[in-house]
Structure 1
Amino acid sequence: MIHRLFPRPFLSLTVFLLWTVITNAAPPGLLLLGALLAIVVPRLTRPFWPDPPRLVRPGQALRFLGVFALDIVTANWRVARQVIGPLHRLSPAFVEVPLDLRDPFVATLLASVVSLTPGTLSIDVDRQRWTLLIHALDAPDPQALVREIKTRYESPLKEIFAC
Structure 2
Amino acid sequence: MIARIVSGLVPFLGLVLIWVLIWGQVTWLALVTGVALALLVSRVFYLPAVRLSGRINLWFGLLFVLRLLGDIVVASLQIAWIALGPGYRPSNAVIAVQLRTRSDLIMTFTAEAVSLVPGSIVLDIDRDASTLYLHALNVKSVEEIPALKQKVLDTERRLIRAAGSADDLARLAEGGTAASASASGPASASGSGSASAEEDAS
Q: Where do residues 20-35 of structure 1 align in structure 2 (5 Å cutoff)?
A: 23=25, 30=28, 34=31
Aligned to 1:149: 152
**Cα distance in 1 for residues equivalent to 2:77 and 2:57:** 29
With normalisation by structure 1, the TM-score equals 0.71
**Cα distance in 2 for residues equivalent to 1:40 and 1:134:** 30
**Cα distance in 1 for residues equivalent to 2:98 and 2:78:** 25
**Cα distance in 1 for residues equivalent to 2:76 and 2:33:** 35
**1:66 correspondence with 2:69:** no
Structure 1 unaligned residues grouped into runs of 5+: none
Q: CA deviation at 1:161?
A: 2.5
Q: 1:68 to 1:4 in 2, by over 3 A?
A: same
**Cα distance in 2 for residues equivalent to 1:100 and 1:54:** 15
Q: CA deviation at 1:44?
A: 5.5
Aligned to 2:193: none
Q: Find the residue that maps to 1:53 and give its secondary structure.
A: coil
**Cα distance in 1 for residues equivalent to 2:83 and 2:100:** 33
**1:158 correspondence with 2:163:** no
1:66-118 per-position Cα deviation (integer Å, ceiling 9, x unaligned): 21122112111111111221312x53111111111112232122111111111
Aligned to 1:103: 103
Q: CA deviation at 1:156?
A: 1.2
**Cα distance in 2 for residues equivalent to 1:150 and 1:139:** 18
Q: How many residue pairs are counted as aligned between the two chains? A: 154
Code of the residue aligned with 1:64 in structure 2: it is F
**Cα distance in 2 for residues equivalent to 1:36 and 1:137:** 37
Q: 1:55 to 1:40 in 2, by over 3 A?
A: farther
**Cα distance in 2 for residues equivalent to 1:4 and 1:154:** 25
2:50 and 2:105 in contact (8 A); partners too: no
Q: 1:121 to 1:55 in 2, by over 3 A?
A: farther
Aligned to 2:116: 116
With normalisation by structure 2, the TM-score equals 0.59
**Cα distance in 2 for residues equivalent to 1:61 and 1:42:** 29
**Cα distance in 2 for residues equivalent to 1:102 and 1:4:** 19
User: Superposition RMSD on alpha carbons, in Å?
Assistant: 3.7
Q: 1:5 to 1:158 in 2, by over 3 A?
A: closer
| Runs of 4+ deviating beyond 3 Å | 2-9, 22-25, 33-47
Code of the residue aligned with 1:105 in structure 2: it is L
Q: Where do residues 3-82 of structure 1 align in structure 2 (5 Å cutoff)?
A: 8=9, 23=25, 30=28, 34=31, 41=38, 45=42, 47-54=46-53, 56-59=55-58, 60-82=60-82
Deviates more, 1:54-63 or 1:136-145: 54-63
Task: Considering fraction of residues, name the structure with more helix.
Answer: 1
1:5 and 1:39 in contact (8 A); partners too: no
